[in-house]
Chain A
Amino acid sequence: MALTKELALFRRTKSLETEIDDFLDKLSESGMVFEHAVKLYLADGRTEEFDEKLRHVNQLESTADRLRRSVETQLYAETLIPESRGDVLGLLENLDSVLNLFEGALWSFSIETPDIPSEYHADYAALTETAVQGVESLVLASRAFFRNIASVSDHMHKVMFYEKEADKVSTKLKRAIFASDLPLSHKVHLRDFVEHIDNVADRAEDVADRLTIYAIKRTV
């Protein structure tokens, strides 16, 4: 009786593993779509193609939400991984907040359609790339947390590195914006978008900090 229950547990385990992997796929994918969308906006402004990317991220976000809720409910309903399910729950929710930042930034581009002068395009693009790379490293670190705890730190330091790089780019960009002859309202608008993108890298670093603690807890 107990054995058949255990076998059923193995099947459920397999499906849960897949759901967690899917969730991380969605986060990674939305980062790539985000980068693509920002570059499209910088090139041509708000086009049909840009809106298509926005819809794509929207869709990824809602799928990820569904997966996250399903994983969390199962972990608690089946009392799986009792000693680390609180950490897994926290990790998934924090990762989800990164995805929300991608979505929020794209919505702001779509609604506010900022007018970004061409001399800043390169820096905006660089900032976006760095932030997305940070998130990508975070996804790898999270996968390692589930499968290979020892290599979590291999990815972790990259998240920190990209966050610092993003900070440098955003500071440089903000200085350039405020040193220009643009009207103050325009400057403030441009700064808001620098921060929208930079926030992604900052958030990724925050999540990475927590992940470090979760990983230490598991190795002790």
Chain B
Amino acid sequence: MDIAVLLFLSSALFLGWALGGNDAANVFGTAVGTQMIRFTTAAVICSVFVVLGAVISGAGPAETLGRLGAVNALAGSFMAAFSAALAVYVMTKFGLPVSTTQAIIGGILGWNLFSETVTDTDTLFKILSTWVLCPLLAAGFAMVLFKMVTAYLRTSRLHLLRTDAYTRLGLILAGAFGAYSLGANNIANVVGVFVASSPFSDFSVFGLATFTAAQQLFLIGGLAIAVGVLTYSKRVMLTVGSGLMPLSPVAAWVVVVAHSLVLILFASEGLERMLAANGLPTIPLVPVSSSQAVVGAVLGIAILKGGRGIRWNVLGGIGMGWVLTPLLAGLVCFIGLFFLQNVFGQTVYRPVPYVLSEPVLERLERAGVKTDRLGELRGQAFSSARRFRQALGERMALTGDDEAKLMAYAEVDPMAIDPARLPDLETSRLSAGQVQAVRGLTGRTFLHTWMLAEALARESGEWRPREKTTENKAHNKRLRKNLDFVFRTFRVGE
């Protein structure tokens, strides 16, 4: 691997380390703070399960982050992660409880601004709404759980010592679950911005399972978090134990479980499929802040106890952190990118040009988008998404849906089916029929990704998306992933 790649990934490791040092304290802080579990036990369990969660279930939230802004050059990813890590560090210095989630969002928005990429407002809104939803949900879970547990303890007449032993075991299990969900949900913050520019490629483990490029990234990020837990979280854990509000061990257990439930809710692809299959509204898969979840859960318990002991100034600080952190990270990222590009001569983004070529206009007609007023733009190329959108806006008013279609079809992303790269397909998750279809296109080039996708669909039925129904959602998602893999493999200039 290139030494530059390692250098660029270092900012992700820095961010992972900071996350391990701070957010892991949310999982085991109360347990260690109340002396129920020793620090070494907590740190080891936490490290192991963070890595497991990151590698096994980290994909969902990472995809959402990728949609917010596909940071497509390594140096850009470096800056986004670095600015986030710096923002977390500075805020922590000022004693403001912050989360890496907000910081990385700020970093990505900074990159979008610099690279003139259009921010997907739907995704941004989705993420912002979870910042309100997450603490509320955590508070709700904590209240219900706390009621249930106290009712159980009242009726079960467990011995004081037995309750203590069960609580200890519960704290260990809940902590392991919490660490797993932290890894699954927050790994996206650490390496999510690197997914689109991943320096790794998929490889198969003894032909049994494929270890995707993203999973390799998640593993590295998970390990960085684990190191953060082992080296830096002790002090934070001890202060969290008494910082928010004095908690009994049973309440501590409730807080950890509520926190973990919320994090896993926002990370579980399985749950999303289940909800979708039953026609229920799905929960967006986004990285949420574990600090907010814990604060929400503690507040829930405080409310049950009549609202005594709530420290309103701490709450105010958290609210300020929500606003300040993304702003700071975005600003640092923007300025940092400027220096990286103009002083150090690094490619911080791969320009994504747009063109309204004949096939694009044809395709738009088929998709039912009126193009008659775009005649004068025919064949014209635009250097960035923002300029293209501006030009469109001057000509005609488009609905959000039509605009999204226009942007997607006109995006230039040249593909060439290079025979030298065909062997890469053998070790991937593609089916034999799918590989055959790609081989059939050997030597051809495509200006847009959708052209390659349609060519593949013509070659083989196995590349055809099914009708959009809830049952077919999983199939189409798998197809999308495989397509992304093909795009990554044959992208010109990769």
Contacts and interface: CB of A to CB of B under 8 A. Distances in A.
Interface string A7-26: 00110010011001000000
B371 interface: no
B169 A6 contact: yes
A13 B249 contact: no
A81 B164 contact: yes
B165 A13 contact: yes
A13 B162 contact: yes
A88 B160 contact: yes
Given A2-B172, A6-B169, A150-B154, A81 B161 contact: yes
A13 B172 CA distance: 17
Contact of A80 (B157, B158, B164, B169): B164
Nearest to B172: A2
Interface in B1-53: 34-36, 41, 44-45
A185 to B, nearest CB: 50
Interface in A1-57: 2-3, 6, 9-10, 13, 16-17, 20
Nearest to B153: A149
B172 A83 contact: no
Contacts of A10: 165
B159 A82 contact: no
B157 A147 contact: yes
Contacts of A9: 165, 168-169
A62 interface: no
Contacts, number: 52
A219 to B, nearest CB: 9
B472 interface: no
A164 B177 CA distance: 54
B34 to A, nearest CB: 6
B158 A147 contact: yes
Contacts of B201: none
Given A2-B45, A9-B165, A83-B248, A17 B35 contact: no
A84 interface: yes
A147 B164 CA distance: 12
A155 to B, nearest CB: 15
Interface string A70-106: 0000000001111110001000000000000000000
Contacts of B160: 81, 84, 88, 145-147, 218
Interface string A181-207: 000000000000000000000000000
Contacts of A145: 160
A180 interface: no
A13 B157 contact: no
B162 A17 contact: yes
Contacts of B157: 147-148
Contacts of B35: 79, 82
Nearest to B175: A2
A149 B248 CA distance: 15
Contacts of A17: 159, 161-162
Nearest to A151: B157
A6 B34 CA distance: 17
Contact of A82 (B34, B41, B158, B162): B34
Given A2-B172, A83-B248, A83-B249, A13 B161 contact: yes
Interface string B232-260: 00000000000000001100000000000
Given A83-B248, A147-B157, A6 B168 contact: yes
Contacts of B165: 6, 9-10, 13, 80
Interface string B100-138: 000000000000000000000000000000000000000
Contacts of A148: 157
Given A10-B165, A13-B164, A83 B154 contact: no
B161 A146 contact: yes
Contacts of A83: 34, 248-249
A137 B122 CA distance: 67
Interface string B162-195: 1011001100100000000000000000000000
A79 B165 CA distance: 11
Given A2-B41, A6-B168, A150-B154, A82 B161 contact: no
A6 B169 CA distance: 6
Nearest to B154: A150
Nearest to B45: A2
Contacts of B34: 82-83
Contacts of B45: 2
Nearest to A146: B160
Nearest to A71: B161
Interface string A146-182: 1111100000000000000000000000000000000
Contacts of A16: 161
B161 A6 contact: no
4 cross-chain pairs, A with B, having the tightest CB-CB distances, nearest first: A82-B35, A13-B165, A81-B164, A148-B157
13 contacts: A6-B168, A6-B169, A13-B161, A13-B164, A13-B165, A81-B161, A82-B34, A82-B36, A82-B249, A88-B160, A146-B161, A147-B157, A148-B157
Given A2-B172, A13-B162, A146-B159, 4 more contacts: A3-B172, A6-B169, A82-B35, A147-B158
